[in-house]
Amino acid sequence: MNVEQARAWITAIATTVEAEAETLTRLDSAIGDGDHGANLKRGFAAVRAALEGFEAHTVGDVLTKTGATLISKVGGASGPLYGSAFRAMGKALASPDVTTEQLGDALDAGLAAIRKLGGAQPGDKTMVDAWLPAVAAYRKKGPRAAAAAAEEGAKATTELRARKGRASYLGERSIGHQDPGATSTALIFRALA
């Protein structure tokens, strides 16, 4: 991945988040407070604006800028979680061109940032349930496999009982609804494929 490809990835995320904002909000209305789609849409629109005219020398510059913008524009839980993930990825990629293996390491660093900040374990019905299988698939078979694994991970959250985030207040009633955070993570990996 080079700097231009990094920009293209972020732009693709912004486009898919915009297109799927209503779906994310609908999922969030079922078990959260119904703002996930609107928040991410607002956040990535701000990222798009921030990257325009931004001089990036490394892949990391693009991702760090993305993360910082998400933290300062989104709020809620998704702002700090995705923001920290992109910043952690950015820190790990300090060159104009990065190898597939380096990007795999960076995705892992992003996952670690999300887990450290949110304290979620696999199976808690959060974005970790999509991000974790996606990183593993990326390392073995590349971006397309990662996108499929993230999608599958997101779908599998439907049967889980939420133990983190706002959905956890619902207890048993959270079962039967796909997690909005895991769903937006799947969009991020879809944009990478």
Q: Interface residues with another protein (CB under 8 A)?
A: 25, 29-35, 38-39, 42, 71-81, 117-118, 163-171, 173
Q: How far is the CB of 84 from another protein (least distance, A)?
A: 9
Cβ distance to another protein smaller for residue 116 or 141:
116
Residues 186-189: contacts with CB under 8 Å, at least 24 apart: 186/130, 186/134, 186/147, 186/150, 186/151, 186/153, 186/154, 187/13, 187/16, 187/17, 187/20, 188/13, 188/82, 188/150, 189/130, 189/134, 189/138, 189/143, 189/146, 189/147, 189/149, 189/150, 189/151
Q: How far is the CB of 88 from another protein (least distance, A)?
A: 14
Q: How far is the CB of 100 from another protein (least distance, A)?
A: 31
What's the gap between Cα 48 and its chain centre? 16
Q: How far is the CB of 193 from another protein (least distance, A)?
A: 29
Cβ distance to another protein smaller for residue 42 or 155:
42
Cβ distance to another protein smaller for residue 19 or 140:
19
Cβ distance to another protein smaller for residue 60 or 118:
118
What type of residue sits at position 137? A
